[in-house]
Chain A
Amino acid sequence: MNAAAAPLRMDASHGRAQLQVALVGNPNCGKTALFNLLTGTRQKVANYAGVTIERKEGHYTAPSGRSVRVLDLPGAYSLAATSPDEAITRDVVMGQHMQEAVPDLIVCVADATNLRLHLRFVLEIAQLGRPMLLALNMMDAARRRGIRIDTASLSQMLGMPVVETVAVRHGGANALIERMDSTQPSPLAPRPSSLAALPDLHAEVRAILAATVSIPRRTAAVDDAIDRIVLHPVFGLAILAVVMFLIFQAVFSWATPLHDGIADGIQAAGNWIGDTLPAGALRSLLVDGVFAGLGTVLAFLPQILILFLFILCLEESGYLPRAAFLLDRMMLSAGLTGRSFIPLLSSFACAIPGIMATRSIPDPRDRLTTILIAPLMTCSARLPVYALLIAAFIPQRTVLGVFNLQGIVLFTLYVAGIVSALAVAWVIKRLRRDQSEHALMMELPSYRMPHPRDIAIGLYERGMIFVKRVGGVILALTVLLWFLSSFPAPPAGASEPAIHYSLAGMIGRALHAIFSPLGFNWQICIALVPGLAAREVAVSSLATVYALAGEGADSGLQAVVASQWSLATALSLLAWYVFAPMCISTLATVKRETGSMRNVVVLAGYLFGLAYIASLATYQIAKAIGA
């Protein structure tokens, strides 16, 4: 390997050499916290071309006035990559990445309390011979545990500069910034010849540690104490259940008022603008198309932010891998991993944040399976549909003395979703071409207090990813659905509601041929088209089709439905909503998160197939037994 320093690039705006730095290190070394401390909010999050791995880049201006560009590479244990994330890190530091320039300086970040593991990777990268520097991070935790590190001799044995950092403390990276500012990146210094004689990197790590580090005990006592309770077969599961319940409650009930408030606010804004415009296509486009779409997009934000607030806290504190540890066996039997649990649980509130939360699943196969089954979890948008049909058709009756029949039906719908999700995951596992063993090999890091800065930056990223990338698609599709529902306008003297004459009406009536075996009448078929925007929209669309509007539409609709539909039709529509891919926002999120249209087609296709079969079976059986 070549030991020469890469030539410095010129910063066009300042005429001064810009320094390109890449941060590398093991997972859980505090690398991203250090990145946040260095660059603050001057970050750009994008994806590496062709893969859905986050590329995080930021910049800062050093005291000398020099601009420093920092690339935060995905965490890796080894250059022998076992995941797409690690392959990116390997390619960039080896200078083999197609889009990424070779960094001027590699800053290797290591957890000072976990050097036995992290130094091996430092040595592996040092073998590349590129200019590099070691940042001994979490020095505060190391001092608390009485770990003493002789950084001068460590630096001499590694042949590279070593600086101490505390990424969670203000000014904790000053030594690193100064060091990078005062010296030019230079090749590694010669290392003691005694090390070169050792058989492998592990032997080198042991020799270096023996010479430079003293450690009183192997683990933090507090970690041992917490883990004894948190990983306990009984108490651990009980704590997990409480945590899950809190998250579920928060996403479900705290987000709902915000969700409704935002939706109402946007609608009010739309109406206000509508009032200032003359009636016509432009007003309708703005009010029913653009503002309705905007309302849909922004109304998801509270759920996404609240869920990620919890997930980021759990992740930063080190609890998330513990939860995965407790649940791994259970999820594995369905062909998933312990890490699938939280995304799936979140999907009960809404599949969109759930799908976004699958980023914490390292194995791409496990991640895709989790994404594909997430829409089967009964999301809160299905509730209005369920509520309407259950209230209209299922009598308020007490069963077995304590249970409410309506409640039992609702519970059955939830269970149907879960059972079919597990079945689909199992089928995906069988069908997959790559049958090699899925690895767990998951590190349980030390417990840490989450740092507000890291949480805030993480939340901001998630919010922007949703608004910028997913929001545009949702908005465009909502406008398209508006167009379908509004054009052509009804002829003069029309007797049916306007939607009947529109493209959506025509599509709905054409769909009737396909859906009549399921017991759907043409009114349902028409309502299904605008209902693609969001599941709950189907209810208001039904009201529109039945020419009910304004106050009391809901109770009116319930009466109409109860008198005009058969029980078989209602049950069939319930079965349809357990499975149907009736939410373009979810499909847009899957496209964005997997970067593949094929996955979207597979997802929509299998959900549609399941929905059709389930509804057909429900309707035909219900009719046969006289419902």
Chain B
Amino acid sequence: MLLSELAMGASATVLEVNDNGPGDRIAQRLRDLGFVTGEPVRLVARGPLGADPLLVQIGYTRFALRRAEAARVTITTEAAA
């Protein structure tokens, strides 16, 4: 599933970040920020309008991601405790 589909408060593990077209700098930046295979993530909060942006906890850091940004990240909820 995609990070943008994660339920409020739920945890998951990052599988990968998919480029949205060649040389996608947003995808590259997401990887630099730590969205890499095996990293645990959690959806902490959602914006008041249209549940956008999403507040994602990764590592010790919280990032606000717009839905289109979060949709680049594929995750799995299986391994996450």
Min CB–CB distance B72 → chain A (angstroms): 10
Segment touching B, from A302-310, A364-372, A437-445, A479-487:
A437-445
Min CB–CB distance A117 → chain B (angstroms): 5
How many A residues have CB within 8 A of the partner chain?
36
Q: Note all chain B residues with C-beta closer than 8 A to A200.
A: 36
B60 touches A219 (CB 8 A): yes
Q: Note all chain A residues with C-beta closer than 8 A to B64.
A: 321, 324-325, 328, 440-444
CA distance A443 to B48 in the complex (A): 18
B28 touches A80 (CB 8 A): yes
A439 touches B48 (CB 8 A): no
Min CB–CB distance A115 → chain B (angstroms): 7
Q: Note all chain A residues with C-beta closer than 8 A to B26.
A: 437, 439, 441
Chain B residues touching A, range: 20 to 34
In A437-464, the 8 Å CB interface with B consists of 437, 439-444
B59 touches A328 (CB 8 A): no
Q: Note all chain B residues with C-beta closer than 8 A to A202.
A: 34, 36, 39
Chain B residue nearest to A147 (CB atoms) is B60
Q: Note all chain A residues with C-beta closer than 8 A to B20.
A: 437
A116 touches B61 (CB 8 A): yes
Min CB–CB distance A335 → chain B (angstroms): 14
The number of A-B residue pairs with CB atoms under 8 Å apart is: 104
Confirm or deny: B2 has a beta carbon within 8 angstroms of a beta carbon on chain A. Answer: no
Q: Mark B29-69, 1 if CB is under 8 A from A, else 0.
A: 11011101001000011111110110101011111111011
CA distance A120 to B53 in the complex (A): 25
Confirm or deny: A78 has a beta carbon within 8 angstroms of a beta carbon on chain B. Answer: yes
Residue among B46, B64, B68 facing the most chain A CB atoms (10 A cut-off): B64
A77 touches B32 (CB 8 A): yes
Chain A residue nearest to B28 (CB atoms) is A80
Chain B residue nearest to A201 (CB atoms) is B32
B48 touches A441 (CB 8 A): no
Q: Note all chain A residues with C-beta closer than 8 A to B46.
A: 233
A439's contact among B29, B32, B34, by CB below 8 Å, is which?
B29
Q: Mark A112-136, 1 if CB is under 8 A from B, else 0.
A: 0111110010000000000000000
A82 touches B25 (CB 8 A): yes
B47 touches A326 (CB 8 A): yes
CA distance A7 to B77 in the complex (A): 53
Given A441-B26, A443-B63: A326 and B48 interface contact (C-beta under 8 Å): yes
B47 touches A328 (CB 8 A): yes
Given A78-B29, A80-B29: A116 and B53 interface contact (C-beta under 8 Å): no
Q: Note all chain B residues with C-beta closer than 8 A to A361.
A: none
B69 touches A439 (CB 8 A): yes
Chain B residue nearest to A324 (CB atoms) is B64
B57's contact among A120, A219, A231, by CB below 8 Å, is which?
A219
B57 touches A329 (CB 8 A): no
Min CB–CB distance A328 → chain B (angstroms): 5
Q: Note all chain A residues with C-beta closer than 8 A to B32.
A: 77-78, 80, 120
B59 touches A117 (CB 8 A): yes
B44's contact among A117, A120, A215, A227, by CB below 8 Å, is which?
A227
- Provide a sorted-by-A list of 30 A–B residue pairs whose CB atoms are within 8 angstroms: A77-B29, A80-B32, A113-B60, A114-B60, A114-B61, A116-B59, A120-B34, A202-B39, A215-B60, A219-B57, A219-B60, A227-B45, A231-B44, A231-B45, A325-B45, A325-B55, A325-B64, A326-B47, A328-B53, A328-B64, A329-B50, A329-B52, A439-B26, A439-B69, A440-B64, A440-B65, A441-B26, A441-B63, A441-B65, A444-B55
Extra contacts besides A77-B32, A80-B25, A330-B49 (20): CB < 8 Å: A114-B60, A117-B33, A120-B34, A202-B34, A219-B57, A227-B44, A233-B47, A233-B48, A236-B48, A324-B64, A325-B53, A326-B48, A329-B50, A437-B26, A439-B25, A439-B66, A441-B63, A442-B63, A443-B61, A443-B64
Q: What 4 A-B pairs have minimum CB-CB distances, sorted nearest first?
A: A116-B59, A233-B48, A329-B49, A78-B32
